[in-house]
């Protein structure tokens, strides 16, 4: 029982971190139609900046918030470089890859190449159904639920959120109704940066961060986001959880060598199932 609980809780916690990265993807894609492969770099900066602020003596909590704000500014800069002016979407996508590389170089210069970590939420780990769970995972859970809730509210209930979505679904109509499409896009990058930063700041205490962790983080976030077609935050959370749980159970009951591979394969199956369902609906 305790092994099962152990896998379940770790899987959920990791799934939520993926979902945090995924929501950044979703937000930016929904507004700008750009797949932002620099999303992982936001998380790296979130973790590394928190580390530096903590070391400078700034208390826990404040450090994280400051780091996230700083990453939001980085998000803005990335947004300007990626979407300003007229540029094809594919070029924008490659530019985000370039920005991710640039971030690696900067992170390497400032923080070096050694993995970096700091202690997370203080206090003893707690026991659920016989399984020891790191307290940091609880924080991941609370923060992500709050964020996902507020994102759902933002998109479904506020004029502002609807305006953001309108930019992507019909940029021309959005413009006509007085929405500044570019500005909305930049705002999406700011928020996407903040979401990535939060993910990184939460993740670093349980998984040490390195300057080049962004590639795998981006892939995991992309994997979770794709389940919702890169547009649905709710499905992205589901995607993250499916991924995290599959990894843990495959790792536990089969072999850790195959955990990511099976999770990826499962996501492909989910995507094929979605495509089939859409096709069938289209025929009706």
Partner 1 sequence: MSERMRSSIVLSLAVVIGLSTLALPLVLSSSDVEIYVTIGLATIVVTGLSLLMGFAGQVSLGQAAFYGVGAYTAGIMAVHHWPSLVALMAAPIAAGVIAFVIGVPLLRLKGHALVFSTLAFQLILLVVIENTSFLTGGAIGLSGIPALRIGPLAISTGKDYAYLVWVVAVAVLLITRNLTRSRPGRALRAMAITASGASAAGIAVESYKLKDFTLSAAYAGIAGGIYVFFIGYISPDAFPVTLSIEFVIMVVVGGIGTVSGAFVGAAVVTVISQVLTSLGTSPSLPPDLPTVLSLGVYALILIIILRLIPAGVVGTLSDLWKKTKPSASASGPVDTTGRSVLGPAVQAKDG
Partner 2 sequence: MHLIQTIRRGGGLQKEGDGGLCRNLFRKERGRLRKTATASVAVVSFALLLAACSSSPSKPVAKAKGPIKIGMITSLTGPYTPLGTNDKLGAVQEVNAINATGGVNGRKIDLIVQDDTTNPSQAVVDWKTLMSDGVVAVVGPVFSSSCMAIIPDVQASKVPSVDTCAADSQVTPARKYVFMTPPTTLIVGKQLLAYMKAKGITRVAVAHDTSSFGEAGWHEMKAEASTYGIHFIYDGTFQVTSTTFTSILTAVKSSGAQALMVWGAGPAEVGLTAQFRAMGLTIPLLFSHAEASMLYTKPAGAAGNGAIIASSIGGIGPYLPSSYPAKSTIMSFANTFKAKNGYYPPEFAFDAGGAVAMIAKAIKENGATPAGIDAALNHMTITTGDGTYSFSPTDHSGLTTNQVAITRDTNGTLVPTKFTKAMVG
Using CA atoms, how far apart are residues 148 and 271, in angstroms rounded to an integer? 22
257 in contact with partner 2 (CB under 8 A): yes
Running DSSP on this structure, what letter comes out for residue 84?
A: S
Q: What are phi and psi of 126, to 5 degrees?
A: -115, 165
Question: Residue 6 or residue 64: which is nearer to partner 2 going by CB?
Answer: 6
Please choose, from the candidates 211, 246, 188, the residue with its C-alpha nearest in 3D space to the C-alpha of residue 18.
246
Q: Map residue 127 onto helix, strand or coil.
A: strand
Question: Residue 117 or residue 170: which is nearer to partner 2 going by CB?
Answer: 117
Residue 271 binding result from partner 1, partner 2, none, given CB thresholds of 5 to 8 Å by partner type = partner 1
Half-sphere exposure (Cβ direction) of 132: Cα atoms closer than 13 Å: 2
Position among 73, 89, 113, 149 found at the interface with partner 2 (CB under 8 A): 113
Question: In the complex, what is the shortest distance from the CB of residue 211 to partner 2, in angstroms, rounded to a whole number?
Answer: 8
Residues that bind partner 1 (CB under 8 A): 35, 81, 85-88, 90-91, 94-95, 97-102, 104-106, 108-109, 112-113, 215, 219, 222-223, 226, 229-230, 257-258, 260-261, 264-265, 267-268, 271-272, 274-276, 279
177 in contact with partner 2 (CB under 8 A): no
Position among 253, 269, 273, 278 found at the interface with partner 2 (CB under 8 A): 253
10 in contact with partner 2 (CB under 8 A): yes
User: What does the buried/exposed string (b/e) look like for 256-269 if buried means 16 or more CB atoms within 10 Å of the residue's CB?
Assistant: eeebbebbbebbee
Is the distance from CB of 41 to CB of 47 less than 8 angstroms?
no
Using CA atoms, how far apart are residues 12 and 139, in angstroms rounded to an integer? 12
Residues of this chain that bind partner 2 (CB under 8 A): 2-3, 6-7, 10, 14, 108, 112-117, 119, 125, 132, 134, 206-208, 210, 212, 216, 247-248, 251-253, 255-257, 259-260
């Amino acid at each position: 029982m305790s092994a099962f609980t152990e896998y379940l809780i770790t899987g959920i916690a990791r799934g939520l971190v993926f979902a945090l990265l995924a929501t950044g993807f979703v937000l930016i894609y929904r507004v700008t139609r750009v797949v932002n492969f620099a999303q992982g770099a936001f998380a790296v900066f979130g973790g590394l900046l928190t580390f530096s602020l903590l070391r400078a003596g700034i208390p826990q909590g404040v450090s994280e918030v400051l780091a996230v704000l700083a990453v939001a500014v980085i998000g803005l800069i990335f947004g300007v470089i990626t979407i300003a002016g007229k540029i094809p979407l594919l070029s924008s996508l490659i530019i985000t890859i370039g920005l991710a590389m640039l971030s690696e170089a900067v992170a390497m210069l400032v923080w070096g190449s050694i993995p970096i970590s700091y202690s997370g939420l203080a206090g003893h780990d707690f026991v659920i159904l016989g399984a020891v769970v790191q307290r940091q995972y609880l924080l991941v859970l609370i923060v992500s639920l709050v964020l996902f809730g507020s994102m759902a509210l933002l998109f479904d209930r506020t004029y502002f959120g609807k305006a953001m979505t309108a930019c992507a679904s019909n940029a021309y109509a959005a413009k006509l109704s007085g929405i500044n499409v570019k500005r909305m896009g930049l705002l999406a990058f700011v928020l996407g940066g903040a979401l990535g930063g939060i993910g990184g700041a939460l993740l670093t205490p349980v998984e040490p961060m390195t300057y080049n962790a962004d590639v795998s983080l981006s892939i995991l976030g992309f994997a979770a986001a794709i389940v919702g077609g890169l547009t649905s935050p709710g499905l992205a959370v589901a995607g993250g959880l499916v991924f995290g749980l599959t990894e843990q159970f495959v790792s536990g009951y089969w072999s850790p060598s195959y955990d990511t591979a099976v999770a990826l394969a499962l996501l492909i199956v989910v995507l094929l199932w979605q495509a089939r369902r859409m096709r069938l609906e289209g025929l009706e």
